[in-house]
Amino acid sequence: MAAPLPAVDWHEAITADSRALDAAARAAGAGADVPSCPGWTVTELLEHIGSVLYRASLIIGERRERRPHRSETTAPPGDPFGWYEQGRAAILPALRTADPDGPYVTFLGPKPLQWWLRRLANETCVHRVDAEQAAGAPVVIDAAHAADGIDEKLETYLPVIARQHPPARPVAVTLRADDLDVAWTAAIGDDVTVVREAVPADAVVTASAADLYLWLWDRADDSRVDLAGDGAAAGALRDSGRV
């Protein structure tokens, strides 16, 4: 039987991580490289996350029936910190006053507000990590939030991306968060299935929820996890879900 995930206050997570992201980005400086996003500096990072937040604020705050045109959510040149703050300042009140029942536009079709809350909580968290790594600052992720980020990656992104970029052969990989006693098994073949339990698989990847989250989102290498079984299968899972 699947173990329940610890609850996460997504509003609180978005508020805290978006603030921490800004602080880390300023400490790093606009021109600093972002190690986890090759080719990006902090400027590109802020332009990206600022656009994500501002786009979501239009969808949620204005109840847009279509995704906003790219021209509405493209960062103007010259002030990445200002653009990021514009996105942050727009999304926080939009989330607080939104109708929880929605529906709201997403890339998976209409969804209730909780879909966006979860998506933005994990988007903001992973890019907060990027900013902290750019600044050479310690990265700390709450275990419950990390588990939610793993679950969201497997549930939301893996089925979409793995169908577009499937591995060379079918693979099944179990991920175990040993500090929470929670596990997931993802199988990619003709279809993509994810169950929240450990079942026989080609490989088992074990770590704390935070390290497992960083590994799955490509923010940490294999040294942060314990790999048992077919390491190539574990790598294929991560490659097939790469955003």
Whether residue 94 is found in the same domain as residue 149: no
Q: Which domain holds residue 203?
A: 143-240
Whether residue 56 is found in the same domain as residue 151: no
Whether residue 104 is found in the same domain as residue 178: no
Band the pLDDT of 1: cuts 50, 70, 90. low
How many domains are contained in the chain?
A: 2
> What string of DSSP letters covers 96-137?
HHS-TT--B--BTB-B-HHHHHHHHHHHHHHHHHHHHHHHT-
In a domain? residue 174: yes
- pLDDT computed for residue 226 by the predictor: 98
Whether residue 109 is found in the same domain as residue 170: no
Spatial distance between the Cα atoms of 213 and 153, rounded to a whole number of angstroms = 9
pLDDT at 143 over 80: yes
Range among 74-78, 84-88, 100-104, 237-241 with highest mean pLDDT value: 84-88
The H or E element that residue 226 is part of is: strand 226-229
If you average pLDDT over every residue of the chain, what do you get? 95
- pLDDT computed for residue 2 by the predictor: 67
Whether residue 18 is found in the same domain as residue 45: yes
In a domain? residue 2: no
Q: Hey, which bits of 24-169 come out as E strands?
A: none
Among 85, 114, 135, the domain-final residue is 135
Among 74, 107, 135, the domain-final residue is 135
CATH number at residue 51: 1.20.120.450
Whether residue 152 is found in the same domain as residue 129: no
In a domain? residue 5: no
In a domain? residue 175: yes
Within 8 A by CB and 6+ apart from 142, the residues are 210
Whether residue 39 is found in the same domain as residue 92: yes
Band the pLDDT of 103: cuts 50, 70, 90. very high
| pLDDT one-digit tens code per residue, 41-88 | 999 999 999 999 999 999 999 999 999 999 999 999 999 999 999 999
Q: Which amino acid is at 232?
A: A
- pLDDT computed for residue 131 by the predictor: 98
Whether residue 130 is found in the same domain as residue 15: yes
Whether residue 24 is found in the same domain as residue 111: yes
In a domain? residue 3: no
Whether residue 28 is found in the same domain as residue 77: yes
Whether residue 171 is found in the same domain as residue 232: yes
pTM of the model: 0.95
Whether residue 130 is found in the same domain as residue 70: yes
**Residue 150 CA neighbour count, 13 Å, CB half:** 34
Among 105, 135, 165, the domain-final residue is 135
| pLDDT one-digit tens code per residue, 162-189 | 888 888 899 999 999 999 989 999 999 9
CATH number at residue 169: 3.30.1050.10
| pLDDT one-digit tens code per residue, 119-141 | 999 999 999 999 999 999 999 99
